[in-house]
Amino acid sequence: MTKDDVRNAIFKAFAEVPKPAPEAVLACHCAHCLPLRDEFLPYSWDKVPAESVDRQRSHLSLFTPSAFHYYLPTYLLRSIEDPGGDVCIFTAYRLNDLDSEGARDEYSRLSADQRRCIALTFRYVQSVAPDEEIAAILAKWEKLAQTNRDV
């Protein structure tokens, strides 16, 4: 699978996710969290500048579940553009937490194709920049992507 194949799969799978309203992007509106909203909200998920994603690399967890759903592909696209980069590893860590209550709320929103995109992203990353921790996280998502094929 090439980078373009993964990109195309992400565009197809996330095309219909609605953009959250400005007040529904963040769970917290403190001075630490607000820059995330202000950097991302002017853009659709496929147009957020790479510098903004890099700056907000560890903040995927600050989004509400609906904003997480909308901007997750932003982090996936940046991960395949920069495998082994900080966005990739922080996104993998964030997606490693499959069992918390918050995670269940977020992941239940993901369609089978969207889950498959997470597996495809890390599979591609592993093919160009192998990493043991990401390999373990990839294994979990490969399993999840398979068990939800019928959604």
Binding site for Zn ion (CB under 5 A): 28, 30, 32-33
Residue 97 has, within 13 A of its CA and on its CB side, a CA count of 13
What is the nearest approach in angstroms of Zn ion to the Cβ of residue 73? Answer: 23
What is the nearest approach in angstroms of Zn ion to the Cβ of residue 2? Answer: 39
Neighbouring residues of 43: CB distance < 8 A, sequence distance ≥ 6: 49
| Calpha distance 66→17 (Å, rounded) | 9
For the residues of 113-138, what is the DSSP string, one character each?
A: HHHHHHHHHHHHHHHHS--HHHHHHH
Q: Which residue, 30 or 150, has its beta carbon nearer to Zn ion?
A: 30
What is the nearest approach in angstroms of Zn ion to the Cβ of residue 123? Answer: 33
C-beta pairs of 102-108 under 8 Å, 24+ apart in sequence? 102/65, 105/65, 106/65, 106/68, 106/69, 107/144
What is the nearest approach in angstroms of Zn ion to the Cβ of residue 21? Answer: 18
